[in-house]
Structures are given as structure tokens and as C-alpha cells.
Chains A and B, each alone.
Chain A
């Protein structure tokens, strides 16, 4: 990938929903560039696994609700800012068809000291999992046959997000 597809990407300073891949190094550089007040930079990268619930996964397709996705992520970032003293935030989520090992999601947070950035990063991911309108469809090999199915939401993700309330 790496190509720019403007028709399915939307940009703001802190949020990007895109089909294209991203460079972790470039994103870290943007969080650090000219940022002389923050000593901590915490990043999370989510990738496509080759296995789920005991099945072999071959591809993953991500759908989202344009407009609501950006609005819900902006709200989550705002909530993080209200709870912790953080500096820069960047959330990237890819949509469309992804292959095994592809990067899906990036969350980067900076803060003066590490504790705020660690906590805010985890909070943003936990809330993204249960609040942001994304849906994954996986293509799996099951009993030698290729089949497509939408993923079920996990109770463990809901439980994890509730720990913050």
C-alpha cells in the first residue's frame, strides 16, 4: 500500500481514518518535532493477526461510519485530556481490506512524565474498542474451506473499558 486515497481518507490534526498504511517513525517524529515540553512519548500499534478463535485468518476488511467515527474519536481524546495532563495526541485507524501483519491502528500520546501518556494511551484504545463505529469482517480457513464472517464484539473489551469509569 502506501498510496494516498483521498476519497476514503479524512484528516484532522489528531485523527486520521485512512486506507493507506502509516509510518510509525514518521508519526513519532510528528509527536516529537518542536515539542520541547514533553519527556514521554507512548505509542500503540495494532496489527492483523493470522489467527482468531482457533481459525486461520487470511484477510481482514474494516468498515466504518464516516462522520460518526471522527466525532466519537474526538470525544474520546477530549475525555482523555480531561483526565490526564497530556500534550500531543494522534489516532490513526485504517479501513478497507488488510492483510496479515498489516498495521490497523495507531495511538500516540505525549506528556511531561510517562504516567499520563501511558494511562491516556490505554484509555483511548479501550474506548475506541467499544465506542468508535468500526466493524471487522474476517476471511478465515475453516475445515479447509474459505469463509467470511463479521466479528462478534467481545465482553472482555466492554469490561476493560468499564474499568475506567
Chain B
């Protein structure tokens, strides 16, 4: 399984903070986005946003980054701290 977490506006739009995804057929971040987009029109809309950021095990990564079982994957909007 892959643990997936969502933050800020994204968490509110999806009404989901955390979920698990079966790792079968999932090689990278883009695969996860495609799988999650199947959930509903709302999820599809959220994951088609090009400004969406992703992280694997607390490091910011791009869509091609590989994902393996046990990883923690995060999706979130551009950051606004400071």
C-alpha cells in the first residue's frame, strides 16, 4: 500500500486528509494522479491542475518520480509560508 496525504486547499476540495492506495500498477506520481482522478469529477479537476505539487517521503518531486509500496506520497498547492 501507498500512504497518500493532502494539505491545505487541496485537502478541503477533496474532503480528505489521508488515504491508502493499492500499489499495483503504480510506478510513479503521474500514475497515482491518474488513479485518483477516476474517483470523481471533483478529483479529476483537482488533479488536472498543473500547479499541484507532490512529495515522496518528505522530498518535493516531479510526476516522473518513482513510487514504491510503503512510501508516503503528498499532494498540495504551492506553498505560502513565511
Contacts and interface: CB of A to CB of B under 8 A. Distances in A.
Contacts of A68: 55, 58-59, 74
Nearest to B59: A71
A133 B79 contact: yes
Interface in A87-137: 93, 104-105, 125, 128-137
Given A63-B8, A65-B7, A153 B74 contact: no
Interface of B: 5, 7-9, 12, 51, 55, 58-60, 74, 76-82
Contacts of A139: none
Given A63-B8, A150-B8, A150-B9, A134 B55 contact: no
Among B8, B9, B12, B74, find the residue whose CB has the most chain A CB atoms closer than 10 A: B8
Contacts, number: 72
13 contacts: A63-B7, A65-B58, A72-B58, A93-B81, A104-B82, A129-B82, A130-B79, A132-B82, A134-B79, A135-B7, A150-B12, A151-B80, A153-B51
B8 A132 contact: no
A104 B82 CA distance: 7
A6 to B, nearest CB: 21
Nearest to A68: B58
Contacts of A63: 7-8
Contacts of B55: 65, 68, 133
Interface string A61-78: 011110110011000000
A65 B10 CA distance: 13
Given A72-B60, A150-B9, A135 B74 contact: no
A67 B79 contact: no
